[in-house]
Amino acid sequence: MKKIRLEIEDVTQGVSGKKPFFLMLREAEGHRKLSVMVGPFEAQAILVKLRGVSVPRPLLHDAFIQSLDLLGVDLREVYIYKVSDGVFYSSLLLVHEGVRHEVDARTSDAIALALRYDAPIYTSESLLVREQILDDGNGAISIPVSSVGVDVLREALERAIREERYELAAQLRDEISRREGKVDSDELQATSD
């Protein structure tokens, strides 16, 4: 399986009511991008390192890296391996005394650690193809529905209803119901046929 190296492009704040943060990752040797929703504390931890801001006391990610160093553990890479219902899944590849260990981690935390350790961030070709952001060239972008959480879907549903885009509203409603377990996937398939 070919790994695609990613670089951090930016952290931006969303435009929705709750204003989540989005971590923008770009293919190192290409133009494809991923958008990962992150919490405010994780966004802060990433931005502090990205922008070279000094803080009076170490953040948790700094303390974690110091602990790895003290224990002789090397963080070799972060691998984003899955997206499900708006949640990106990642692993840390740690090496201790020549033995490799994979540790599951939240993607936002894994990336904050990778920045501090100068470790590469990877994903698979298939995930990048499936989850990439599509740019229409006029400033509008499309994000795959699997990349966003239920709260974002609810906001999109409300907007679709306000704008009288009822076909889109029905699709968003069905996706929210599926994620909340209100309707099983066979029923959704039957209603969309």
Which domains can be identified in the chain, with CATH numbers?
A: 3-142 (3.10.690.10), 149-192 (no CATH)
- 46-96 tens-digit pLDDT: 999 988 888 888 888 999 999 999 999 999 999 999 998 778 999 999 999
Helix (H, G, I), strand (E, B) or coil at 124: strand
- Residue 161: its H or E element: helix 150-162
- 10-23 tens-digit pLDDT: 898 865 555 678 89
Q: Please, what is the end-to-end C-alpha distance for the chain in angstroms?
A: 34
- 132-178 tens-digit pLDDT: 876 555 554 556 556 567 777 787 778 778 877 777 677 778 777 87
